[in-house]
Amino acid sequence: MQIVHTIDELRAQLKAFRRPAFVPTMGNLHEGHIALVKQARPLGDVTVSSIFVNRLQFAPHEDFDSYPRTLGADAERLEAAGCDVVFAPREKDLYPEAQTFKVHPATDLSDILEGHFRPGFFIGVSTVVMKLFSCVFAGMPAGVAAFGKKDYQQVMVVRRMVQQFALPIEILAGETQRAGDGLALSSRNSYLAPAEREEAVHLSQALRALGEAARSASDLPALEAQAMHALARRGWKPDYLTVRRRADLMPPRHGQLAAEPLVVLGAAKLGNTRLIDNLEI
């Protein structure tokens, strides 16, 4: 496995290949990332993973500076998973000048849920993903890029971006990987104190309970509010627990709860750690 830091080095490593399988990450890897690498690897002729903590998707009050940087351990895990090339650019390598050209996704998808509580987040995500795609797939006839379903809205934003820009890239959405008690694996789980880690599973439990109750609900907004209040009583600070249509993340139409493919999504802060999760129903 090769570790490269500049775009020129990356392209030199990839020039002999035709179909990269690419897994973009911010590092501090867990089994969810490794599962994506293993799923993507058979779909390409070279497996690439990037490790880059992207300043553009962090608000000033968020954890950009404290986000764990664990390149050595991450590289060992990626090599064991069969990754061929790790692209670990420094900020000056990926953004040699201020990134004034940015990708602004459609507001109907990017300004709701995560985009509402983290303004500008999906602009930062879309911009860095587009730039990483240009680094990895330049001159390639086709490729595959893998993203985890835990970031459900992010996958939808990236898919729509790829479609609208006619990029020859297949987007693979990997299932959320969970700990034995049901907690969705996340790099930010490492922030949790032991007591918070025990409590953290209640987010996934709340989503499951909401999903089970939603199909027969006569007043879905009231049910969602009840779920948020129940989580808040446990000491959480929920941003949203909501049932949405999988197709566009809009609220389900009246009378269509039993007919439409739905997803339950939640985001809540436990102590100083903000966790997200979702469950397709």
* HSE toward the beta carbon, residue 280, CA cutoff 13 A: 11
Region of residue 139 (left: phi > 0; alpha: psi -120 to 50; beta: else): left
61 is catalytic: no
Residues 205-231 as b or e (16 or more Cβ within 10 Å = b) = ebbebbbebbeeeeebeebbeebbebb
**If DSSP codes are grouped into helix, strand and coil, which group holds residue 87?**
strand
Q: How far apart are CA 202 and CA 182, in angstroms?
A: 9
Catalytically annotated residue among 30, 33, 104, 116: 33
In DSSP terms, 3 is beta-bridged to 86
Active site residues: 33
